[in-house]
């Protein structure tokens, strides 16, 4: 297992894309690191299995971090929708 430091504004979906190139790995990340969808990831070090898929390799070799949280820790791990949309009661 390797470690990844989460940056301010990253969501669990960003991290899954960053490390695995696949958002379906969100549950694996949460299970492997004993976190949940509401955990503020800023500054956390998460364990992950190194893969040889092209997206994570490209991001790592070019120093690119996926960040859809808008740079604000208050938006980390929200539903990903704007304030005009509700998904199962989450805004």
Inside any domain, residue 17: yes
pLDDT at position 86 is 54
pLDDT at position 35 is 95
Half-sphere exposure of 23 (CA within 13 A, CB side): 6
Inside any domain, residue 80: no
The answer to whether 25 and 85 are in contact (CB under 8 A) is: no
Inside any domain, residue 81: no
Q: Which residues pair with 3 in a beta bridge?
A: 47
pLDDT at position 83 is 55
Inside any domain, residue 53: yes
Tally of domains in the chain: 1
CA-CA distance, 19 to 11, in Å (whole number)? 12
Inside any domain, residue 89: no
Inside any domain, residue 74: no
Q: Judge if pTM exceeds 0.75.
A: no
Inside any domain, residue 52: yes
Inside any domain, residue 78: no
For residue 29, what are the domain limits? 2-66
Block means of pLDDT (10 residues each) for the chain, 91 residues, are: 91 92 92 93 94 79 77 48 53 47
């Amino acid at each position: 297992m390797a470690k990844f430091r989460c940056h301010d504004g990253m969501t669990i979906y960003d991290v899954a894309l960053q490390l695995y190139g696949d958002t379906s790995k969100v549950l694996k990340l949460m299970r492997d690191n004993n976190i949940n969808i509401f955990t503020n990831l800023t500054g956390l070090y998460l364990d992950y299995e190194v893969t040889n898929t092209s997206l994570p390799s490209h991001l790592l070799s070019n120093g690119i971090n996926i960040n859809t949280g808008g740079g604000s820790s208050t938006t980390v791990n929200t539903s990903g929708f704007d304030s005009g949309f509700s998904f199962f009661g989450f805004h």
